[in-house]
Amino acid sequence: MGSERVAAVRRLRLRVDPHGLYERIRVCADTGQLGAGVVPSGFVKELAEYWVDEYDWRAHEVRLNGFEHLATDLDGQFLHFMHSRAGAAGAEAVLLTHVWPSGVLDAVEAAEGLRSTHHLVVPSLPLTALGELGQLMARLGYDEYLVRDDRGAVPPEAPAGKGERRGLAPGEIAEVRWFNENLNAVNDEQQVGALVLSAAMLAWRAPADKRDSVLTGVMLAWFAPRSEVE
């Protein structure tokens, strides 16, 4: 890729001290300023206590630093993303996003299984619109690339890219047909407005095993714009 294409991309050093942020969280939790009028204060206070007293940022930081951390500006908006280049000859590039209720840790988990065979670009969402990510891929020199989320789907808002789109292989067509025949129950339920499904989705606001994923995404959103540039 030419230097003019990557001039606007800068490398970040992801090594931060979270204690100043933790002090802010303690003060806000003690004064009841967190989540006022949005979510139950008891839930927010419990999450804040877990964040400050039990959440292990260093462990997640080590894992995240298995990838290259970069940043750029798209239409004046800061965007942090992770990047990994595979050593395999002819490796395809993949723009890997994450979808609700997933977080950046879920995308990292998916990326760890692909990094030996694919070049990967993992943006920290939702700090930018998916449609703008085509600019990012072009800036990195990827004219042709795949778009997937951490569940294996193709986001409907995914950028088309500049390269010519190829058709689906027979095996891929078979997978799509199987999905449409067997895994469309959720879509069908939503079409008829099932109340049970709606209540279940609301109850799934923040399961305990997702706390680290949520908090790691928040930490990246807070610290990435404040990280040192290498």
Instruction: Encode pLDDT of 23-50 as tens digits.
Output: 888 877 666 655 555 566 777 788 888 9
The structure's pTM equals 0.70
Residue whose token pair is 């239409």: 75
Burial class from Cβ neighbours inside 10 Å (0-12, 13-18, 19+) for residue 119 reads buried
Instruction: Encode pLDDT of 117-173 as tens digits.
Output: 999 999 987 644 556 788 889 899 998 888 876 555 555 445 544 444 556 678 878
